[in-house]
Amino acid sequence: MNFRTLCLPLLFTSCLVFNSHGGNWPNWRGPNFNGTGAEDEKDLPVKFSPTEGVAWTADLPGPAASTPVVWGDSVFVTAAVESEKKLYAFCLDGKTGTVRWKHAVGEGFRLDDKSNLASPSPVTDGERVIFFFATGDLVAFDFSGKEIWKTNVQKDHGRFAIQWTYASSLMLADQRLYVQVLQRNESFEFAGVQKGEKDNPNDSYILALDPKTGKQIWKIIRPSDAVAESREAFTTPIPFTHQGRAELLITGGDAITGHDPATGAELWRWSTWNPQKIGHWRLVTSPVGGDGIVLACAPKREPIYAFKAGGKGVLGESDIVWITNDDERKEVSSDVCTPAFYKGRFFIVNGDRQSIACVEPTTGKVLWDQRIEPPDVRLQKIESSPTVADGKLYVMDHRGTVIVVAAADTFELLGINQMGSDQEQEIRSTIALANGHLLIRSNGKLYCVGKKF
C-alpha cells in the first residue's frame, strides 16, 4: 500500500494484547473497549429515579457530551460553563460525589448550535487522568490534581478542519495515548469560524503520545478518498485483539482501517460505503469487534458492514461477512450510537428509530430488533452508546430517559427511568458503570445509581 505516513516503517506485527481493567471504567467504551463492564459486575439496578436508588448526586456547572470515567473511588468528569466561558476538569469522590478538585483547562463554550466544547471523554490508567477538549487543550493530572503536562493539539498540528465541533474521545492502552483527527483536506469557514489551515496541509492523522510526558511517539497521516464533510469523523480509535494480534481500529473518511498500535502503520483497509462520493456523510459511530468480526456502521441510516478480523492489505468483497441491506436487517443501522459486544452478541442501537437489535456476529442473524415504545413515555432521539454488564443493557435518550433491556437472546424490557429534567435537551453522555454502580450524566447533574458504598 502506498499510503503516506510520518511514522517508522512496519517492521513487525505487534503481538501485544491490550490490557483490561475490571471493576473500573477507564475510558468512554469501558475496560474491554467494547461497551461492556467487568465480568464480575452484579446486582446492577433496573429501576431508579433522581430520588430513588441513588447513592449520591453531584451538581455540575455546565453540560458535556463526555462520559464519566472511573478508577477505584475516583470519578472524573468534564463540563463547559457558559457563564464563565471556561472548560473544566473535575475529580469527584466516588463514595460521596463531593468535588476533590477542579481545574479550568480551556476557554470557550460552543462554536455552533449543535454541541459544546466538552464532548471528548477523558481517560485514565490508574496513575494519571488525561482530559481533552474541542479547543485542542490536552492536559494530564495525577490523582491528587497536580498537573503533569499540558499541550494543545491545534497549536501543535494545525486548526481542526471540521465543520461541526470536534468530539472524538481519547483512548489509552499499553502506555500509548491515542488522539484522532479525521478532517477535511481544505480550509473553509463555517458559522463565522475559520476551519483548518489556509497555508498548510489539512491532513487527517492519528497521534500516539506518551501518557507520562505528553511527548509524541508517532504520528501517521491517514489518507482518504472521501470528499468534503464525508472526510470528517467524530469516531474514537478502538483497541482490538484477535488471535494475539493487537491493532487499532479507525473508522471515518468512508473507510475502516486497522493499524499496528506500536507504530501506527496501516495493516488493512476497506472502503467504501459511499461509492457515489456523497459529500455530507460525516461519521460518528466508532468500530467494535468480537468473535472474529469487526463492525463498521455507515452513516445516515445506511447499512452496517461486518468484516473478518485479522485482515491484511486492501480488503475486497470476500472479506465482508455480512451487510444489513436486506429485508430482514434493513432497520438494523446506527448513525450515532456505537454498538456493544457482550457474550457473543452485538447489541446495536438505532437512535433515530429508538430501537435495539441483538445480532449474531458470525452470521449477522438478527435474534431480535425491538422498538422501545413505553406506554407513558415519548422517547427522544438516542445519541448515547449502549453500556452492558450483568445481563443488562443501558442506553439514554436526549431527555435523560434511561432504557434498560435484557442483554440476552430474547428481548425483555426491564426498566424505563427518567433521569433528566423537562428543561434538559440533547443529553448525549454514555452511561458508565463501575464497582456495582451506574454513573448517569444529565446536562446539569451526575447520578451515582446503586447501593451506597
Question: pLDDT (tens digit, 9 = 90+) per residue, 324-382?
Answer: 998 878 899 999 999 999 999 999 999 999 999 999 999 999 999 999 999 888 999 99
How far is Cα 37 from Cα 74, in angstroms, rounded to an integer? 17
How far is Cα 236 from Cα 234, in angstroms, rounded to an integer? 7
**In this structure, how many other beta carbons lie within 10 angstroms of the beta carbon of residue 140?**
24
Cell 458504598 sits on residue: 453
How far is Cα 445 from Cα 49, in angstroms, rounded to an integer? 13
pLDDT attached to residue 112: 82
Tens-place pLDDT, residues 422-450: 788 899 999 999 999 999 999 999 999 99
Tell me the residue length of the chain: 453
Cell 501543535 sits on residue: 156
pLDDT attached to residue 9: 33
Dihedral of the alpha carbons of 408, 409, 412, 417, in degrees to the nearest 10 = 40
Tens-place pLDDT, residues 267-283: 999 999 999 999 999 99
Q: Between residues 41 and 4, which one has the greater pLDDT? A: 41
Question: Does residue 10 carry a pLDDT above 80?
Answer: no
pLDDT attached to residue 16: 40
pLDDT attached to residue 19: 54
Give the model's confidence band at 14: pLDDT under 50 very low, under 70 low, under 90 confident, else very high. Answer: very low
Tens-place pLDDT, residues 279-337: 999 999 999 999 999 999 999 999 999 999 999 999 999 999 999 998 878 899 999 99
Give the model's confidence band at 18: pLDDT under 50 very low, under 70 low, under 90 confident, else very high. Answer: low
Cell 455546565 sits on residue: 62
Contact 211, 176 (CB under 8 A): yes
% of the chain residues with pLDDT over 70 = 95
Q: How far is CA 292 from the centre of its chain?
A: 21
Instruction: Lowest mean pLDDT of 20-29, 62-71, 210-219, 299-308, name the range.
Output: 20-29
Give the model's confidence band at 23: pLDDT under 50 very low, under 70 low, under 90 confident, else very high. Answer: confident
Give me the mean pLDDT over the 209-218 stretch.
98
pLDDT attached to residue 327: 81
Tens-place pLDDT, residues 313-325: 999 999 999 999 9
Arithmetic mean of pLDDT over the chain:
93
Architecture (CATH level 2) of domain 54-449: 7 Propeller (2.130)
Q: How do the domains of the chain map onto residue ranges? A: 54-449
Task: Read off the pTM.
Answer: 0.94
Give me the mean pLDDT over the 233-243 stretch.
98
pLDDT attached to residue 1: 39
Contact 433, 41 (CB under 8 A): yes
Question: Does residue 6 carry a pLDDT above 60?
Answer: no
Taking alpha carbons only, the member of 258, 257, 233, 236 closest to residue 247 is: 258
Give me the mean pLDDT over the 14-41 stretch.
81
Contact 64, 82 (CB under 8 A): no
